[in-house]
Structure 1
């Protein structure tokens, strides 16, 4: 099916005039701990100048019966139908940089076609970098800085290398497929996943959104303000601290998570992984230092004479005569 008919620009928008360096993607997935995506969307759309410039045809890609939208029955009539929408927003940062934000639920159908449609949009808008952001429930304490795992279609596109500590097989969200397809087409796409304390994953946790927005700047995205999110985070932090202080069981749990978290940092798990060029530079420096410290090599004549150092040349079989069954090393 033709992917170009799946996405349409708004009638009042001249798509030829749209240009931006960065696309942020907050499409829903099977998990978004701490309501991180919703907090990011609400913060950006309500604190920065923005407008809707395009949308996907939801009737083709959304499972209404599987994820029924909400509606209000007010006495004898219905109101406030929550229409599911995947929208493309144009936003202007405080530094007058134009970027785009793709919001909405995860598409239910036609993933390959949706990915193709979005790849075309990325091409049309001149997007240089796509950043996918979300939260993930993890065994981390709220008393430590939230880790942010990075993933990418091309690992060299990642600026700060903080990866998962191993290889995992999991059920794919749409954003994982989008990452692969954009990378296949030669686009830079990086995923940012904030690790949210698992005991807070159902709570709106502003610290997760703050951490993700700061990571966006670290990954060559726009520098975004977080002041209003900081104001929202203060009462949440106080409420969590108060609940922990009143429960010995919670204190023990948090203490255990702190110890585990600190051990991981000490062992190097979850810390920044050196980039390829950094490793190459370190190896070159090491080899140069070794070359300087090596003694002068033997002369050609000495090297050709195995007994030049006075040690008689060994011609016997190194195997023991008492062990006739020994096999020579290949």
Structure 2
């Protein structure tokens, strides 16, 4: 089907008047670990001048029955229907430069057509660089700087080289296909994935959003605000640390993650540095654990990751059962 009919500009917008060097993409993927994408969307759209300039036809690409939107029943009538939308925003950064932000859930259907439609938008608007932002739950401690893995259609376009340590087969998010199709069209596209502590990935974790925005700056993206996120991050860090300090089992868990993380990042004092093969094997094992948590996977158990996972907010108790699996 024709991809040009899938995306439309707002009625009041003349696409010929739009211009911006960079497109940031915060579309959903496996999960929004640490709610990094939501926090970034809130920070940029609430603190910078912006307007919606276009949207995708959601009735063609979204699975409403599979991912039912929420609605409120107020006594005898419905209100506050949360309409799923994939929107293109025009945003002005701190330096007064215009960039674009694509927000919304991961499309359920017609991935190739959606990728084709977005490539047309990139070409129409003269976008020079596309940066895709997302979070990933990983066996890292909250007491260390969160790693941000980089990938790209053309690896030479990455400014800071921090690739995954090996080759992996995994279930593809839409952003993986979008990266490939944009690169095939000759466009500069770089993906940024922050590693969020596994025991905190289901709560809002501003440090994850801050790590991604710092990576955007490293990749020569727009100048973005950090002050509000930094204030939120301080509050969350203090709340998390207070709960961990009160529970020795959690202190042991974090200490173990710190030791493993330090061995991977630095040589340490007399510590043996793991080889790339060692690191790849460990990450591969961790990625494989997601398939067993998938309710549709034949080996999946009755319990979901949310039932066994971390709290939804830093004020809830981080009990011993919230320790990550041994293979993490």
Tell me the CA shift for residue 25 of structure 1. 0.2
Q: Report how far residue 106 of structure 1 moved.
A: 0.3
**What is the distance in 1 between the residues matched to 2:113 and 2:242?**
48
- In 2, the alpha carbon distance for the partners of 1:269 and 1:27 equals 34
1:315 is matched with: none
- Return the alpha-carbon distance in structure 2 between the equivalents of residues 266 and 234 of structure 1: 26
Preserved contact between residue 24 and residue 102 of structure 2 (Cα < 8 Å): yes
Tell me, yes or no, if structure 1 residue 73 matches structure 2 residue 76. no
Spell out the pairing of 1:1-330 with structure 2 (5 A cutoff): 1-267=1-267
- Number of residue equivalences: 271
Q: Distance in 2 between the 1:67 and 1:55 partners? A: 19
Structure 1's 40 and 269: CA in aligned 2 closer, same or farther, altered over 3 A?
farther
CA drift of 1:148 comes to 0.2
Cα distance change of structure 1 residues 189 and 148 upon mapping to structure 2, 3 Å threshold: same
d(CA) in 1 for partners of 2:275 and 2:45? Answer: 32
| Structure 2 Cα separation of the partners of residues 246 and 70 of structure 1 | 37
For structure 1, the residue ranges without an aligned partner over 5 or more in a row are 272-330
> How far 1:269 sits from its partner (Å)?
7.6
TM-score normalised by structure 2 residue count: 0.81
Distance 1:10 1:32 in 2: 28
Encode CA deviations 1:66-93: one digit per residue, 9 max, x unaligned.
0000000001000000000000000000
Tell whether the 8 Å contact from 2:36 to 2:204 is kept in structure 1 after alignment. Answer: yes
Shift of residue 30, structure 1, vs aligned partner? 1.1
Question: Deviation at 1:270?
Answer: 11
Which of these two proteins has the greater Rg computed from alpha carbons?
1
Gaps of 5+ in 2: 268-272, 277-328
Q: What is the CA RMSD across the aligned residues, in angstroms?
A: 1.3
Residue by residue over 1:44-79, the C-alpha shift from the partner in whole angstroms, topping out at 9 and shown as x without a partner, is: 000000000000000000000000000000010000
Secondary structure of residue in 2 paired with 1:88:
strand
Q: Secondary structure in 1 aligned to 2:163?
A: coil
